Amino acid sequence: MIVLGIETSCDECSAAVVRDGHVIMSNVIATQIELHKPYQGVVPELASRLHTEWIQQVVEAAIRQAGITKEDLDAVAVTSRPGLLGSLLVGVSFAKCYATALGIPFIGIDHIRAHLYASQIENPLEYPYLGVLVSGGHTVICRVDGYDDISVLGTTIDDAIGEAFDKVAKFYDLGFPGGVVIDRLSQSGNPTAFLFPGPSLDGEEHRYDMSYSGLKTAVINQRMQFLQEGAADTPENIAASFQRQAVGILMKRVRLALKDTGLTRVSAGGGVAANSLLRKELKDLEKGGYTVTFPSLKLCTDNGAMVAGLGYRYLSDGISSDTHLGASARVSAFKKS
């Protein structure tokens, strides 16, 4: 089965063609980063306008690069939630029309589930496993019993981890997108130059929860102090110290959840899963006997391949969407573990 996957939930305009859920025939990602750079963040109105202008060419390029014609497609999968509403609407409207014109099924895909599924395309992992979703909008630790059977153990109670990377970078004028820049600067910084605080979340109900706003504020306040004192440390040391704590907050909960649940497999996904320190620390879990997978770098950040891959799973189980399906900015309900 050949599935076209379309992803326009934020600032990447992407389309991919995937055969049988695991053979990536093409994965075109037209990034809007340069166009949002002057604003040091994604401007929703600009993002949706660019998707409108680009989507047709991106889809055509994906089909061309896959070496097929649109008549070879068996289905169209598209991210329908959560994300920027205007951007999602562009992809959903396009996918519905395209599938209807071709007379093939169409399926709306949840972006969070797609990120959690991404590593399964390249490195299939047996269920159940501990899922770690870390992106610009979400930070979730969950138990994954199937591609659509996900129970949330913990989430951030405020900022997402990627959002903290982006805001720290913005405040220090390090560049955009923040996660990539901080990761790069950290390579030559001292991670113990500053001991930034981690959250103290009381109560059993917060056992696996995280918080990033305190860390973000502490790193930002450090800059205010530099400005007042007329002193400064290197951006490399700030970046490395922040990154160490940001990853530390997450890894502490990951280790706790693994110990409590007895799960022996872990898989990460989302843009922050591209972070070199996080990848190293997750990989280090293998020394304790755990099996660890994460997507290749291209499948960590937003892409159409993960959408097509997950779409294939639903379609194989006879599940598709009807053309009344709309887009939604909201996160759909997950089971609470």
What residue ranges bind ligand KG4 (CB under 6 A)?
10, 115, 135-137, 162, 165-166, 177-180, 183, 270-272, 274-275, 301-302
Please say which residue, 118 or 285, places its beta carbon nearer to ligand KG4: 118
**How far is 70 from 286, CA to CA, in rounded Å?**
43
Nearer to Zn ion, 191 or 269 (CB): 269
User: Looking at residue 307, what DSSP letter applies?
Assistant: H
Q: Which stretch binds Zn ion (CB under 5 A): 92-100, 134-142, 216-224, 242-250?
A: 134-142
In the complex, minimum distance from the CB of residue 166 to Zn ion, in angstroms, rounded to a whole number: 13
Encoded amino acid at 312, one letter = Y
* Residue 243 contacts residue 275 (beta carbons within 8 Å): yes
CB of 270 to Zn ion, least distance (A): 6
Residue 244 interacts with, from Zn ion, ligand KG4, none (CB under 5-8 Å by kind): none
Quote the least distance from Cβ 86 to Zn ion, whole Å: 16
Contact partner at residue 143 from ligand KG4, Zn ion, none, CB < 5 to 8 Å by partner kind: none
Choose between 115 and 143: whose C-beta lies nearer to ligand KG4: 115
Q: In this complex, which beta carbon is closest to ligand KG4, that of residue 163 or of residue 209?
A: 163
Strand partners, 3: 18, 75
CB closer to Zn ion out of 116 and 238: 116
Beta carbon nearer to ligand KG4, 173 or 317: 173
C-alpha pair distances (Å), 220 with each of 44, 55, 173, 187: 25, 37, 11, 20
Least separation in angstroms between residue 114's CB and Zn ion is 8
- The least CB distance from residue 102 to ligand KG4, in Å, is 28
Q: Which stretch binds Zn ion (CB under 5 A): 59-67, 133-141, 151-159, 314-322?
A: 133-141
310, 109 in Cβ contact below 8 A?
yes
Compare residues 113 and 244 and give the one whose CB is closer to Zn ion: 113
Site for Zn ion in 204-263 (CB under 5 A): none
Of 272 and 305, nearer to ligand KG4 (C-beta) is: 272
What's the closest the beta carbon of residue 301 comes to Zn ion, in angstroms?
7
Residue 295 binds which entry of ligand KG4, Zn ion, none, with Cβ cut-offs from 5 to 8 Å by kind?
Answer: none
Other C-beta atoms closer than 10 Å to the C-beta of 332 total 12
Based on the shown chain and the rule CB under 5 A, indicate whether residue 87 belongs to the binding site for Zn ion.
no
Q: Is 135 in the site for Zn ion (CB under 5 A)?
A: yes
Q: Give 150-153's long-range contacts (Cβ < 8 A, gap of 24+).
A: 150/113, 150/116, 150/334, 150/335, 151/334, 151/335, 151/336, 151/337, 152/334, 152/335, 152/336, 152/337, 153/208, 153/257, 153/261, 153/337
Q: Which residue blocks in 262-301 are alpha helix, DSSP H?
A: 276-284, 297-300
List the x/- string, 269-308, binding to Zn ion by CB under 5 A: ---------------------------------x------
CA angle 331, 334, 336 (to 5 degrees): 130
3-class SS at 275? Answer: coil
Of residues 149, 140, 106, the one with CA closest to residue 4: 106
Number of residues that bind Zn ion (CB under 5 A): 2
Nearest to 79 by CA among 142, 16, 7: 7
Tell me the β-bridge partners of 210. 156
The residues of the shown chain that bind Zn ion, judged by CB under 5 A, are: 135, 302
